[in-house]
Amino acid sequence: MTTHAPAPTERYLLSPDMIADPYGHLDALRDHAPVHWSPLHHAWLVTGYDQVMRCLRDPAVSADRVRPLMDAVPQGAREDAERAFGILSRWMVFNDPPQHRRLRQVFQEAFSARAVARYRAFTEKATRAVLARKATPGRTGDLLADVAKPLPALVFARWLGIPPTDGPSFWYWNTRVADLVLGTAQEESEYRASLQALVSLDDYLGALVARRRAEPGDDLISQVLREGRVGDSVTGEEFVGMLTQMAFAGGETTSNLIANTVLALHTRPDQLAAVRAEPELAQGAVEETLRLDGPSKMSIRTAARDLDLDGRTLRAGDRIFLVTAAANRDPARFPDPGRFDVRRSGATHLGFGFGAHFCIGAALARLVAVAAVRTLVCDHPGLTLADAGRPAWQPSLLNRGLTALPVHY
């Protein structure tokens, strides 16, 4: 067992100060013991890079967490939950191999770098169009609402084949589903709205799949249907369930990645200047954000059986928090880990996970985020942050997203 520093005081990870800046505490946890039992969270906090990697590779560490999500639903909302949690059980992120592999293979070709590259021209055009409408020089606005949210929505809707007229309902359902999955729904009424939104999203995508069977288009759903795996390696119900995951994951993650990267650059003038001088470094800025202050702080797992990790015995059924936000700052893996460096190279960060559960949509998220950041930095040199105070962050255990990013365009 590795122990280097005195044990830090136990801190609740959803307290306002931890939401604002969790990194000092997470660094202290990692330096003390990279595998730490937290009585407050009833979970193991795994904060070391090597230890997180071990968990991501170990079949004894299960991704199935639908039951814990169900247990968090208030008793009064349980009657609405049965179908909604049946949908969640078909999300590949909540399944272990070999089920996970079977589900993922259906989308493998559609998410390849070659397939995603087809959307580069559309993404760049959409970026310019969004900025032309919202980023008028001299205007003050919220970059999150003006750019970071609508741009991924445009690209992902085009990619999924969502008709523009259906966009408002589609993205409302996605927002409510995020409240459920990311743990921001607290009141019974919020849970009911989130559960119903997931069912509505599933109904809508089921109808859209039926439409694409009859009238194929140039979109993800049509492509997968043409490949013939739906009805063969996966059922139609499983396919629609996985589409609800794609719809939820793409917009939320990419929106936060764009906003967090813009914030990171505009609070570090030397790095902002570097990207302006060499626009290709926008890619490095996005990667450094994924490592240092990315849209995901952790993922939740469960011990499927007893296992030893760094000298600690994790018992079957124990909850495990894989804190990638701490692992990505591990000095044993990343030199000068607290420095934001758009030219950083070397060790692979875990901002999109690793291994079997590496984010299948990473290539598309990177495409959209890099296009947005490069255009904002290079074509809008007058862009500045409008609020000198501390930014406000969403109260979520899992994700790292701003509530707003006020700017002068």
For the chain, the 3-state helix, strand and coil shares in percent, each to the nearest 5, are: 55, 10, 35
| Contact between 54 and 327 (Cβ < 8 Å) | no
| pTM, two decimal places | 0.91
Q: In which order are the strands placed within the sheet that holds 299-303?
A: 35-38, 43-46, 319-322, 299-303, 61-62
- CATH architecture classification, 16-408: Orthogonal Bundle (1.10)
Per-residue pLDDT band for 76 (boundaries 50, 70, 90) equals: low
**Residue 336, C-beta contacts closer than 8 angstroms, at least 6 positions apart:** none
| pLDDT score at 175 | 86
Query: Strand pairing partners for 320?
Result: 44, 301
Higher per-residue confidence, 51 vs 189: 51
Element (H, E) at 407: strand 406-408
Query: Scanning the structure block, which residue is given the tokens 């939740």?
Result: 300
Whether 305 shows a pLDDT value over 90: the answer reads yes
pLDDT, tens digit (0-9, with 9 covering 90-100), for 183-216: 776 688 888 898 899 999 999 999 999 999 999 9
Whether 3 shows a pLDDT value over 90: the answer reads no
Per-residue pLDDT band for 5 (boundaries 50, 70, 90) equals: low
Higher per-residue confidence, 5 vs 198: 198
